[in-house]
């Protein structure tokens, strides 16, 4: 197959549209999760939220059966990626190539540990952009990912046809 022909794709049909009730349920789950995290951030003047949590909500409420949406992937993926970003920022330096190495290392570590959570892939970049300190590992990364997971466990299982998680 010619290299450029690969860009055409396989002509696989797009997935079917989700039912309106599932869309509404996912919308409400994301709303509740980010409302709680946003409220705690404001009320306790402590950082519980980061940008990658929005993408996490897409997975855990819209695609809860995906391996990327499971609790171990959410928590460990965010934790490992943030930790790696902090390591590179503080020990290698705030350079473009250090940031690239941090991201690439985070991908590899998540793959090795079977904790791939695509939204967590942005955490090393976020760490560099905000020049985060080591406490960023706990607040927001660990605390926020644990809160998202607890909300996902409670909310997703309220639905009669949903069972969450698939595995731990």
Taking only the tens place, the pLDDT of each residue in 108-161 is: 999 999 999 999 999 999 999 999 999 999 999 999 999 999 999 999 999 999
For 90-119, the pLDDT digits (tens) are: 999 999 999 999 999 999 999 999 999 999
Domain limits, the chain:
20-156
C-alpha span between 93 and 145 (Å, rounded): 26
pLDDT given at position 45: 87
pLDDT exceeds cutoff 80 at 59: yes
For the question of whether the overall pTM of this predicted structure is more than 0.85, the answer is yes
Q: Nearest 5 degrees, angle CA 73-CA 41-CA 154?
A: 45
Angle between helices 52-62 and 20-43 (to 10 degrees): 140
């Amino acid at each position: 197959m010619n290299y450029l022909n690969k860009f055409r794709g396989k002509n696989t049909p797009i997935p079917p549209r989700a039912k309106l009730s599932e869309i509404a349920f996912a919308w409400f789950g994301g709303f509740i999760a980010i409302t709680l995290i946003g409220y705690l951030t404001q009320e306790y003047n402590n950082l519980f939220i980061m940008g990658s949590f929005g993408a996490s909500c897409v997975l855990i409420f819209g695609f809860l059966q995906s391996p990327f949406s499971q609790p171990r992937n959410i928590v460990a993926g965010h934790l490992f990626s943030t930790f790696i970003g902090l390591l590179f920022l503080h020990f290698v330096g705030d350079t473009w190539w250090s940031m690239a190495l941090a991201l690439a290392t985070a991908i590899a570590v998540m793959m090795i540990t079977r904790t791939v959570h695509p939204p967590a892939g942005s955490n090393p970049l976020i760490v560099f952009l905000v020049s985060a300190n080591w406490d960023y590992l706990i607040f927001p990364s660990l605390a926020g990912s644990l809160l998202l997971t607890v909300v996902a466990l409670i909310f997703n299982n309220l639905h009669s046809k949903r069972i969450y998680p698939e595995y731990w």
